[in-house]
Structure 1
């Protein structure tokens, strides 16, 4: 009898001890599974995480990362979602409890079916069902219409959270990009140092810069940018079986027309430069006279052709110059 009394007392004490053992908090249990990021969910854990009662906020990404599903947006956004989850868990605020989870279609087919989801990714935010922030609204759904950043989605999530300080987004340091940038910078310095004796004379040559400037001026004054903005045709038919190189009207032009006008301006420029700079330096008088006549004829003929082009563009243009 004495043994039975001791055994009964021992069992009662053990039972009381087990009964007094505190129940593990639901939020703390899921936080322990997160390992600083989003929890990988399946149908069972998704239901456990989102079912009432819960005294915490929940944000769940429903995605389909497997290449079999062809969801490029899912794979592109996954690193951004991990940044949001890690940033929140790292800077967790005491007043707002929140759990982040990720449910892939492979592990959550029943959940996708019950939610009648036809596309992915989708983010759901569940407010608490108990506690000071309890709400009967929700879940709130964010459907993607294109690529977005972690900051954009994080701002949307914060709109469904109580007022107050929130953890800020902290992106991991991209050491590969930093290393690549340093390597590229050092490579540029090395190349410039080795090639500077050959490059500097070219960069300091006034004739080269004058040529580049002249080409740029001819290119843009002839309407090159107009062609890119308006997407004009290169040439067009004249309605009689021939080809029209010039479009009628000063607000229209063809791609070939731009090249012809640039060539005309180029010839006129070189003729003027030759008459102003090259011809006066010629020592032989006869050669100088011949050069003046030749460049003068070129200048007259090309400028006359340019005026005729203006008359083609606008029949009311009043000026002309022989021979055109």
Structure 2
């Protein structure tokens, strides 16, 4: 009797092992089919566009042995998402940097779901705003940390690459395509000015005017110190509408990001401080009477002190924990 029981147990164990082996082979075959399809799409384009069905098949439903970063966005003009296009451009830079890097492998894919192509995805994820970047790991469910905090770090290519490295351990070197538009425009402008000067015999004595060169130097300094070059490289939005309060935000809260409007504000503040020093060092000493000298001195002092206080307050708001303040 005990021999019969042992035989039954052995047969049951063998059947269970065979079933597990068959299931494992089936899962492996399904994973391989998914990876082949994703690699095929990836060979055509760095960012894989998904609708609701493809999202559930390749992102949500197991099994899978790859991580996938999904940007949920709304690029159609009627959606009026001002920052979605800028975010898409930065996301494309990261995806292309990974696709053409020497360390590329099917461990990581970049995908996108547009609201008009997959509204059910937004509903399933309980999202009511765009853009949004979410990491879906190879195993298990995604956590709160798998959603990129755009309010804190922004959506620049470097910030996205850092987020990918933190969640997947894969380092991506961001490679931006060269932009020759500005150098070509400068060369064209210089060529036109040179031709006009040659054929019309324009008086070039203004080139020897130190005051004009001083104005030009100040404009260049204000532009560069306010982050205009950063704007040209990163392409940030002009401003941002806070989804919670509905108010337009002109100064970003993170030290790693800025808006175009913010750079204009900083430029105006730098110009205000410079104007205050000009009143103190140039205008006031040259005043003919004591009353004018006193007024110009007070104006210069108020400009320097007041504008510097505002500038320091903005700096403190962007760098959390900065301990110093002045008036504000």
> TM-score category by the smaller chain?
0.5 to 0.7
Per the alignment, do residues 64 and 226 of structure 1 end up closer, same or farther by CA in structure 2, a change over 3 Å counting? closer
How many angstroms apart in 2 are the aligned matches of 1:162 and 1:309?
62
Change (3 A) 1:308 1:193: closer
Label 1:94 to 1:308 Cα distance change in 2 as closer, same or farther (>3 A): closer
Hey, what's the Cα distance between the residues in 1 that align with 2:204 and 2:270? Answer: 34
- Alpha-carbon distance change, 192 to 151 in structure 1, aligned in 2, over 3 angstroms: farther
Question: Is 2:80 the partner of 1:73?
Answer: no
Establish whether residue 30 from structure 1 lines up as the match of residue 35 from structure 2.
no
- Name the structure 2 match of 1:180: 185
Measure the CA separation in 2 of the matches of 1:37 and 1:171: 14
C-alpha displacement at 1:142, in angstroms? 1.1
Picking from 150, 171, 174, the partner of 1:169 is 174
Q: 1:128 to 1:173 in 2, by over 3 A?
A: same
Larger displacement relative to structure 2 (40-49 or 89-98):
89-98
Structure 2 length-normalised TM: 0.51
- In 1, the alpha carbon distance for the partners of 2:270 and 2:47 equals 52
Q: Secondary structure at the match of 2:204?
A: helix
Residue deviations 1:167-225, cap 9 Å, x none? 4222223343443233234334445656786123x4447xx86xx99xxxxxxxxxxx9
Where structure 2 has 5 or more consecutive residues not aligned to the other structure, the ranges are: 1-28, 216-268, 297-328
Q: What is the rounded CA distance, in whole Å, between the counterparts of 1:150 and 1:55 in structure 2? A: 25
Residues in 1 aligned to 2:177 and 2:133: alpha-carbon distance in whole angstroms? 23
Q: 1:95 Cα shift?
A: 5.8
The residue aligned with 1:120 is 130
Alpha-carbon distance in 2 for matches of 1:308, 1:138 = 63
Q: Is the 8 A contact 1:36 1:90 kept in 2?
A: no
Distance in structure 2 (CA, Å) of the matches to 1:72 and 1:173: 24
* Structure 1 residues 127 and 195: alpha-carbon distance in aligned structure 2, compared to 1, 3 A threshold: farther
Call closer, same or farther: CA 1:107–1:143 in 2, change over 3 Å: farther
- Over residues 41-69 of structure 1, what are the superposed CA-to-partner deviations in whole Å (9 max), with x where a residue is unaligned? 10001111112111111000001112222
Q: What is aligned with 2:305?
A: none
Looking at structure 2, the residues matched to 195 and 118 of structure 1 have their Cα atoms a distance apart, in angstroms, of 61
Who is 1:198 aligned against? 203
What is the CA RMSD across the aligned residues, in angstroms? 4.3
Is the Cα contact below 8 Å between 2:98 and 2:104 reproduced in 1? Answer: no
Instruction: Give TM-score, length-normalised by structure 1.
Output: 0.52
Q: Which has the larger radius of gyration?
A: 1
Count residues with an aligned counterpart.
209
The Cα offsets for residues 9-44 of structure 1, whole Å up to 9 and x where unpaired, read as: xxxxxxxxxxxxx87531121121131311111000
Paired position in structure 1 for 2:150:
144
Whether the aligned pair in 1 keeps the contact of 2:287 and 2:293 (CA below 8 Å) is no
Q: Which residue does the alignment assign to 2:164?
A: 157
Mark the CA change 1:226 to 1:25 in structure 2 (over 3 Å): closer, same or farther: closer
